[in-house]
Amino acid sequence: MKYAWIKKIIGGVLLVSLLLLGFYKPFQQYISIPKKLVLFEGETIQFPKAVPVSASLTTGSGLAIQSGGDSLTLDAEAPGTNQLLLDFAGFPVKKVDVEVLRDFKVIPGGQSIGVKLNTKGVLVVGHHLVDTIKGKKSPGEIAGVQIGDMITEINHHQVKRMNEVTEFVQKSGEDGKPLDLVISRENKTIETKLTPLKDKNENIYKLGLYIRDSAAGIGTMTFYHPQTKKYGALGHVISDMDTKMPIVVKDGEVVRSTVTSIEKGSNGDPGEKLARFSSDKEVIGDINRNSPFGIFGKLNKTIPNGIMDEPMPITLSHQVKEGPAQILTVVDGSQVERFDIEIVSTIPQKFPAIKGMVIKVTDPKLLKKTGGIVQGMSGSPIIQNGKLVGAVTHVFVNDPTSGYGVHIEWMLNEAGINIYEKSTGIPKAS
């Protein structure tokens, strides 16, 4: 009986000790370590060292442990995988899979750019009535053509420009035969017939549709990858101003632009950068993708920002921390400047999503000049602790000092740059 009581006392003491240990901050930090860590070659991560805890590695590669003083340091020495084991008094308390990726760096942007997009056909942006001798009608509406549709073929011929459509319309009216249309609508292909009607006042045949074959605007460069020459910009999709729908891009061009003035933002009015394409209209790159994460393509020449022109490492979504950061952007002319912001919250996303961070402008100079985040600032790179973490994407309409940011990890993914390639050398790119 005596020994049984002693065992119970010892067990109780151990139980209380374990419970108290759970409230011990360094121990809590060990427990809060995620089950998987992804580091880049040459990166170091440090944890406070709880005295009772020891650490070891399995027979994997790429990682080294340094234990000394009141901290535990992991050094990512080479690409590979490993497993970190944390023990307390001989009992395992945590097992962490660690993946070391090859060294990866990009050059941050911040430059103001002009964007010219060509659609994969002609975009329908509205209906209108044709004034015929039998009354006012819209042939396009009768044929079931909707706003936001992309007309890609007429009479089995691809159409890319508005003037091509005009030729088909007049010939159809004169021959008295309907047009065979192929339409792209929300990733679906639709076929329909449309009979043009003659306007009694202008004496020409019309579709009863407003159409457009291109779009233009300004934004901000986010990054440039020197090995593949691929870039990413804007951080959000470009939508048509009338239909509010994403523009399906055939191709496009990126040119330099100059900020001429700023319409300062206020509550209910986010403000805007007013800019013009540079006078030489020199094309500095192409556009091959317009996605929810921005526009992407290849640059044909480097465009220095003048303040951060050396390649810098990136931060994955789960590594971004709340706290001070900076953005690079242009508010006057073509000069890129650095401004202070605060990352208010960040979401460690496992899958691509466009709203990964909430940011707030804290820089007095930028607040005085713009009121916070303004249209045209989208794509401005976000820098934290010497690493590129993401880009500005949206402003809060009721609070222009704040807005959303997208994690750089997802923009790189959209650009076709595989940061998870484990081998050394130039990364694979689609």
Name the residues annotated as catalytic: 236, 363, 378
User: Do residues 228 and 417 touch, judged by C-beta distance below 8 A?
Assistant: yes
Identify the CA nearest to 264 among candidates 69, 401, 139: 401
Give the span between the Cα atoms of 376 and 132, in whole angstroms: 44
- How big is the chain by its Cα radius of gyration, in Å? 29
Report the 3 state secondary structure along the chain. CHHHHHHHHHHHHHHHHHHHHHCCHHHHHHHCCCCEEEEECCCEEEEECCCCEEEEECCCCCEEEEEECCEEEEEECCCEEEEEEEEECCEEEEEEEEEEECCCEEEECCCEEEEEEEEEEEEEEEECCEEECCEEECHHHHCCCCCCCEEEEECCEECCCHHHHHHHHHHHHHHCCCEEEEEEECCEEEEEEECCEEECCCCEEECCEEEEEEEEEEEEEEEEECCCCEEEECCCCCECCCCCCECCEEEEEEEEEEEEEEECCECCECCEEEEEECCCCCEEEEECEEECCEEEEEECCCCCCCCCCCCEEECCHHHCCCEEEEEEEECCECCEEEEEEEEEEECCCCCCCCCCEEEEECCHHHHHHHCCCCECCCCCEEEECCEEEEEEEEEECCEEEEEEEEEHHHHHHHCCECCCCCCCCCCCEC
